[in-house]
Every structure is written in structure tokens, then in C-alpha cells.
């Protein structure tokens, strides 16, 4: 007997029966898997006969040779610097198909290769309890040379830390082809397609990023073109922008503000030189004595917190003719009258007060300011300026 997947047992035969009698034998001990077993005749269907004293017999189910559909080489493989599966897997009705390139370590894994060349893939069926191991066979797979430029996709990396300067950098490595130029394309319609020339197989190049981009992750792709005008495949890349560009405006020599006309930003914290400025958590930043340094502001947007790009104030403009002011009370409650006092008021000078709301709109103008100017405003943060003969002095007002 040979393994066939069904239960098998020896067939019992009877002798010494009278002509015309019918009798069947019940045999127990049938087995499915290959191996050595014992079967027993346990009963007869005709009561006129009895079983002999020894009603057992040994039997064997032998292993069977597997039926194999051989693997086939994958046609049309071309070098692209990525691993190719060399074969389509074969099949077997039993045991396990094992593969190896050049008869090195065998495994069930489909062999892969990267470089141009011929590859001999050996295979055989590793037997099990019911199937014999097969002989070793082989097929030959081929990876052809590419006709287009090829880059190492793992070496195409974009760095957008230069976003605040309006640019990003893409590094690359060409592994085949005489590449002369590149074309960049982006999913975001805000970033235009860009082209440029390269002269080295490895390096990096910069490309422009518009300041209108919001913080987030962006996707792009690059295609390289060789000296014959042939294009490579499309290589994707992505990059992340973590800063907000262009939201800081300088109103006066001592006042900055967040351009929040869209209402997208909230919960502010101003910094200078990378350190938080204590207490400066409003839309407007007012520094007595004037601004100087590298300012940023942290702001909440869409449930996340981002830092603006730096706003550089190299030298704080000053003027001997600037005026001093005092505002009281400040903070003030909504609709409560407060006073803007010009401390060194000169009745012969042309004095004007201009006040902006959080959106940057002018909400109050006092064209002919006097020494004591009384007014009221709705709740909000405000930035103002006193202009005396054209010289500005900034201030801020908080109305609760």
C-alpha cells in the first residue's frame, strides 16, 4: 500500500467455505498516514463460520513521491536597484518546496536578487511523514541592464529645515546612467514644478518652497534625465514643515504683532533668541526701549502648537523726538473708560493716536491727540501707536 490520503487496511480473504455460502469479514486497524501497522479481523457476517485463532496481520503504508509543478523564472526583469523575485513559485501535492540560489541555503522564501546577471535557482520538495523528498531541479533567471537612469530610492531624502529661508534640499544617489537634470513635482498645487541641472552622481540640490505653506507633511517626486534624454522612473519623497512663515509684522519700533486676519491662531508665547519672554502671551509684543534680536511666536493652529519663522530686528530704531506715554487703567474692562496720557506733550507738535485690533484693522483714530485722551473699547487685545511729528511710539492695550 502507498499513501493516498484515505484510510487503508489489508483485505481479508476466506477459504474453506461451502459452495454458495456468503460471508464478509470485518477488519479493524485501518490507517491513513505512511507507516507500519497491525490489522485485525474481528467479525464474520455468517454465523456458520468462526475466525481462526490468529486473526491479525502486519501491513505497511509506504510514502509516495510528490507531484511537482516546477517554478518558472520571472520574465523581463530589469535592473532598478531594488530586489526582484527571480521565480514564480512552484506547487506540490505534498511536502514543502524549498529554493536556493546557487545551491546555498535552502528555504521556502522566494529567492531575490538586485544586480544584473544570470541566477540559477535550485528547488526540491522536502519530504514529510507521507511524501518522499524529491530530486533537485533548477531554473535560470536573468536580470537585464537598465536602459534608463536608476537611483537608489533609499538615498532620496528631503530636508525642509530651511523652509524659513524659502527653500528645501533633496539629496540623491545615482547608481546607473549619466544623469544631467531633474524634474520635481508635488502633490500640493501651492508648490510649482521645478527643474534643474546636476553634474554629479551623488549630491544634493535645493528647491524653492512658498511661504504660504502651512505646517504639515508634503509629498513630492523626482525624475532624473540622462544625457540621451531618457527619464528614470518616478521616485517619491516627502518632507515636513514645522514652522509658520510670515505671520509676524512690525508695527512700530517697539511693537510686533501676529497677522491673525484669518483667525487661525491662538494662545501665543513670544520668544527672543530661543527663550520665552515672560508674560508676553498676547497677539502683540511691546518692548519698552525698542526691539532688537531674533523673535518668534508660538501659536496654536488646528489643535497643534507651532513656532513661527524668526523675525530679525538687527538694530532698534530710536529717536530723540519719540514721546513717552502712560495708559491707565491697563488692563481695563470692556467699555470702561481709560486714559492715554502723553507725558511730554507739546501743544505745538502734531500728535495722532492710531489703535489696531487683533486682526490688524484700525478701530480707533484720534487725529489731534491732546495730553489726556479718554476712550473705551470692546474686549480684546489692541496695539496702538502715538505719532508725534511723524515719529512713532508703540503701545498695547488689554481689554478684558
- In whole numbers, what is the pLDDT of the chain averaged over residues? 92
**In which band, very low, low, confident or very high, does the pLDDT at 334 lie, cut at 50, 70 and 90?**
confident
Residue 217 is part of which domain span? Answer: 150-241
Q: What's the number of domains the chain is made of?
A: 5
Q: How far is CA 177 from the centre of its chain?
A: 29
**Is residue 118, in this structure, part of any structural domain at all?**
yes
**Is residue 110, in this structure, part of any structural domain at all?**
yes
Indicate whether 214 and 189 sit together in one domain. yes
In the chain, pLDDT over 90 holds for what percent of residues?
70
Q: CATH number of the domain that 359 lies in?
A: 2.60.40.1220
Indicate whether 168 and 224 sit together in one domain. yes
**Is residue 253, in this structure, part of any structural domain at all?**
no
Indicate whether 237 and 181 sit together in one domain. yes
pLDDT at 204 over 70: yes
Indicate whether 155 and 228 sit together in one domain. yes
Point out the domain boundary residue: 62, 82, 112.
Answer: 62
**Is residue 252, in this structure, part of any structural domain at all?**
no
pLDDT at 289 over 90: no
**In which band, very low, low, confident or very high, does the pLDDT at 146 lie, cut at 50, 70 and 90?**
very high
pLDDT digits (tens, 9 = 90+) for 162-195: 999 889 999 999 999 999 999 999 999 999 999 9
Q: CATH number of the domain that 130 lies in?
A: 2.60.40
* Lowest-pLDDT range of 63-72, 233-242, 311-320, 391-400: 311-320
Q: 179 has which bridge partners?
A: 226
Indicate whether 306 and 350 sit together in one domain. no
pLDDT digits (tens, 9 = 90+) for 5-58: 999 999 998 888 999 999 999 999 999 999 999 999 999 999 999 999 899 999
Residue 357 is predicted with a pLDDT of 87
Point out the domain boundary residue: 103, 124, 144.
Answer: 144
**Is residue 248, in this structure, part of any structural domain at all?**
no
pTM score: 0.67
Residue 320 is predicted with a pLDDT of 42
Residue 86 is predicted with a pLDDT of 97
Residue 278 is predicted with a pLDDT of 94
**Is residue 229, in this structure, part of any structural domain at all?**
yes
Indicate whether 170 and 228 sit together in one domain. yes
**Is residue 22, in this structure, part of any structural domain at all?**
yes
pLDDT digits (tens, 9 = 90+) for 93-128: 999 999 999 877 999 999 999 999 999 999 999 999
pLDDT at 392 over 70: yes
* Lowest-pLDDT range of 148-162, 214-228, 366-380: 366-380
pLDDT digits (tens, 9 = 90+) for 238-274: 999 999 998 998 887 788 999 888 889 999 999 999 9
Indicate whether 234 and 278 sit together in one domain. no
**In which band, very low, low, confident or very high, does the pLDDT at 323 lie, cut at 50, 70 and 90?**
low
Q: CATH number of the domain that 197 lies in?
A: 2.60.40.10
Residue 347 is predicted with a pLDDT of 82
Residue 315 is predicted with a pLDDT of 63
Q: Can you tell me the mean pLDDT for 125-142?
A: 97
Indicate whether 219 and 159 sit together in one domain. yes
Indicate whether 227 and 159 sit together in one domain. yes
**Is residue 193, in this structure, part of any structural domain at all?**
yes
Indicate whether 13 and 31 sit together in one domain. yes
Indicate whether 159 and 227 sit together in one domain. yes
Amino acid at each position: 500500500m502507498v499513501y493516498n490520503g484515505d484510510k487503508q487496511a489489508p483485505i481479508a480473504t476466506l477459504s474453506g467455505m461451502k459452495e454458495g455460502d456468503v460471508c464478509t469479514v470485518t477488519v479493524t486497524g485501518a490507517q491513513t498516514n505512511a507507516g507500519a501497522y497491525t490489522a485485525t479481523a474481528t467479525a464474520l457476517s455468517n454465523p456458520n463460520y468462526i475466525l481462526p485463532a490468529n486473526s491479525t496481520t502486519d501491513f505497511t503504508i509506504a510514502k509516495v513521491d510528490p507531484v511537482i509543478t516546477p517554478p518558472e523564472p520571472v520574465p523581463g526583469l530589469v535592473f532598478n536597484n531594488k530586489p526582484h523575485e527571480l521565480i514564480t513559485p512552484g506547487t506540490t501535492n505534498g511536502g514543502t518546496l524549498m529554493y536556493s540560489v546557487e545551491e546555498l541555503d535552502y528555504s521556502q522564501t522566494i529567492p531575490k536578487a538586485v544586480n544584473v546577471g544570470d541566477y540559477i535557482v535550485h528547488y526540491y520538495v522536502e519530504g514529510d511523514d507521507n511524501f518522499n523528498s524529491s530530486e533537485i531541479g533548477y531554473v535560470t533567471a536573468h536580470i537585464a541592464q537598465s536602459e534608463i537612469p536608476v537611483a537608489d530610492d533609499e538615498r532620496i531624502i528631503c530636508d525642509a529645515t530651511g523652509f524659513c529661508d524659502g527653500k528645501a534640499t533633496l539629496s540623491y544617489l545615482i547608481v546607473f546612467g549619466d544623469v544631467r537634470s531633474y524634474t520635481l513635482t508635488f502633490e500640493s498645487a501651492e508648490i510649482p514644478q521645478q527643474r534643474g541641472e546636476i553634474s554629479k552622481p551623488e549630491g544634493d540640490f535645493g528647491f524653492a518652497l512658498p511661504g504660504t505653506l502651512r505646517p504639515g507633511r508634503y509629498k513630492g517626486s523626482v525624475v532624473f534625465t540622462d544625457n540621451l534624454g531618457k527619464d528614470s522612473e518616478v521616485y517619491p519623497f516627502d518632507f515636513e514643515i514645522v514652522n509658520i512663515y510670515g505671520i509676524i509684522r512690525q508695527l512700530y519700533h517697539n511693537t510686533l504683532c501676529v497677522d491673525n486676519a484669518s483667525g487661525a491662531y491662538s494662545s501665543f508665547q513670544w520668544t527672543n533668541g530661543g527663550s520665552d519672554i515672560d508674560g508676553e502671551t498676547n497677539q502683540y509684543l511691546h518692548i519698552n526701549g525698542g526691539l532688537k534680536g531674533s523673535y518668534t511666536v508660538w501659536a496654536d493652529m488646528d489643535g497643534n502648537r507651532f513656532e513661527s519663522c524668526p523675525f530679525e530686528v538687527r538694530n532698534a530704531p530710536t529717536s530723540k523726538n519719540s514721546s513717552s506715554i502712560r495708559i491707565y487703567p491697563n488692563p481695563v474692562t470692556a467699555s470702561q473708560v481709560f486714559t492715554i496720557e502723553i507725558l511730554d506733550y507739546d501743544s505745538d507738535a502734531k500728535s495722532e493716536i492710531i489703535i489696531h485690533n487683533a486682526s490688524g484693522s484700525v478701530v480707533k483714530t484720534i487725529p489731534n491727540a491732546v495730553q489726556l485722551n479718554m476712550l473705551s473699547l470692546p474686549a480684546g487685545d489692541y496695539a496702538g501707536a502715538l505719532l508725534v511729528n511723524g515719529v512713532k511710539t508703540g503701545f498695547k492695550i488689554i481689554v478684558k
